[in-house]
Amino acid sequence: MYRCYTGTHIREAEQPRLAAGEGPTLMRTAAWGLAQHTLDFLRHRGRIYGSRVIGLVGKGNNGGDTLWALSFLASRGVHIEAVPITADPDQLHPAARTAFRTAGGRFTTRIDHAADVVLDGVFGTGFSGSFDMPTYLADRNLHIPATAGIIACDIPSGVHADTGDIPGASLQADVTVTFGGPKVGLLVGAGAHHAGRIHVIDIGIGPELASIEAPWWVAEHTDVARYYGGPRWDAHKYSRGVLSVVAGSPEYPGAAVLVTQAATATGVGYLSLVAEPPRGKIVADHVIAATPQVVVEDNITPKATALVIGPGLGTTVRGQHSATAALETGAQHDLPVLVDASGLDVLAAQHFEAHYAALVLTPHVGEMRRLTQRLAPDLTDQDVAAQAETFAQRFGVWVVLKSATTYIFGPTGQRSLHPPYTAELATAGTGDTLAGILGAGLSTVDPDDPAISDRVFGLMVAGVRLHSMAGQLAAADGGVVVSSLADYIRQAKQFGLE
């Protein structure tokens, strides 16, 4: 996992250096990095000497970074120009403006049709409010050539660094060169779709960033190998986890099939389906046909080391009773319990007062809003991610909020975000698959482990990454068909080991 920061985090980390008079050094370091990645972009396009780079510059530090970068590019034979945006040239950063002009740069009110690269350096991480960059340019007859690459300085102008929101409109960058550390606004929401490839420049504030107590965490594929890799040499079926699944109904048997297929592909050692006859026979028949190694039982097996409750149970009295009974069993045996889909509807105050090794809720956005409305109505005015974060801490649970960007929030302030790598997973049944992956991971948790909180957090973060890797592999192979996603889970696990 790597750490990710809000724009506020970055600005706070810069303050001691700025107070010490190191602002010019920070700016030139950032600009040098921006210039180097611009040169790499030009080199990939075919040439550096004689190419044309134009900066769109504002009067803040982002404009200063861009003007310094342009001055560095000029030393490599690049023709440089700059278009002031919402400012006159004499309002721009003084030292950077001087360096730009000394390097032979000139200010202009047009974008050369032969420009190879346009640098977006108008607004940075301190931006708030709304700005429509494409309309601003069009209204002034400033047209970016279709063949020109767009490189954002720190963050595409108009993107909110803390949230990824774009209240107005932003340019679609091919590359974003960001400073200090990865930023939330480049990885979530609309900001993630406007950032392009992201390169991080170390500007020397690492110690200050390391001292931040509540960063965001982002999974890497190596986390999949760490938490979902192959078994130990001395493993046996019980040491690899015993998962009991309370899922499926005659109306929705497929949910149980998808959960058990995913858990099996993830590597659980023993998998039990609670399907009490006669009603459960339909579900059991479907599951056994798809995954014959599943053991069908009337009740949760005493060997269980984790439970998954809810997918496809439906809203019948019998389904709700099954979910409630399973929650009680999980508390009695101090098990890790994952509650999804229909199971979320039966959660009540007494369940949060009971003790579980870990209680993990996996709502999608609509389910999270319903949970909040029912159990924490004072939070309904917050955005849904903020609701989930506060809900997790208030009720002492883990929340995996499923959306285009998936968020994970822990009971003591842990938080992770997962960028939207593929929209192919936006289809019915992929949530059931995720429940199977995470349930398999939870079945390996030792309730007596003093580091259980770290273990659960790592399993949730890596499990979401494994799910998305499977989706990416399936998308590259013609598209996600949820019934075959388990095959790609196996491939993704192998990829994580490489």
Res 214: pLDDT = 86
Annotated binding residues for AMP, as ranges?
A: 402-406, 431
- Could you read off the pLDDT of 215-251 as tens digits, one per residue? 999 999 899 999 998 888 777 787 788 999 999 999 9
Q: What is the identity of the amino acid at 15?
A: Q
Q: Which residues pair with 408 in a beta bridge?
A: 400, 416
- Share the mean pLDDT of the chain: 94
Annotated binding residues for (6S)-NADPHX, as ranges?
A: 255, 312, 364, 432
Q: What is the pTM of this model?
A: 0.92
Annotated binding residues, as ranges?
A: 255, 312, 364, 402-406, 431-432
Segment 99-114 shows an average pLDDT of 96
Q: Rounded to 5, what percent of the chain is helix, strand, coil?
A: 45, 15, 40
Whole-number Å distance between alpha carbons of 324 and 311: 13
H/E element, 207:
helix 206-210
CB 133 within 8 A of CB 171: yes
Backbone φ, ψ for residue 427 (5° rounding) = -150, 155
Residue 310 burial (10 A CB sphere; 0-12, 13-18, 19+):
buried
Q: Which residues pair with 153 in a beta bridge?
A: 177
- Could you read off the pLDDT of 155-184 as tens digits, one per residue? 999 999 999 999 999 999 999 999 999 999
Q: Is 468 left (phi over 0), alpha (psi -120 to 50) or beta?
A: alpha
**pLDDT over 90, % of the chain:** 89
H/E element, 456:
helix 452-476
CB 257 within 8 A of CB 291: yes
Res 426: pLDDT = 87
Query: Distance from CA of residue 186 to its chain's centroid?
Result: 10
Q: What is the identity of the amino acid at 216?
A: W
Instruction: Specify the 3-state DSSP secondary structure of 230.
Output: coil
Segment 51-74 shows an average pLDDT of 97
Whole-number Å distance between alpha carbons of 335 and 51: 63
Domains 2-217 and 221-497 share a fold: no
Token pair listed for 209: 């960033």
496 confidence band (pLDDT: 50, 70, 90): low
**Domain 2-217 adopts which CATH fold?**
Rossmann fold (3.40.50)
497 confidence band (pLDDT: 50, 70, 90): very low
- Could you read off the pLDDT of 110-156 as tens digits, one per residue? 999 999 999 999 999 989 899 999 999 999 999 999 999 999 999 99
**Domain 221-497 adopts which CATH fold?**
UDP-N-acetylmuramoyl-L-alanine:D-glutamate ligase (3.40.1190)
Cα dihedral 203, 208, 211, 214 in deg (nearest 10): -70
Res 55: pLDDT = 98
CB 274 within 8 A of CB 309: no
Whole-number Å distance between alpha carbons of 121 and 146: 19
Res 494: pLDDT = 82
CB atoms within 10 A of CB 441: 29
* Domain ranges (residues) in the chain: 2-217, 221-497
- Could you read off the pLDDT of 386-439 as tens digits, one per residue? 999 999 999 999 999 999 999 999 999 999 999 988 888 888 899 999 999 999
Token pair listed for 432: 């059931």
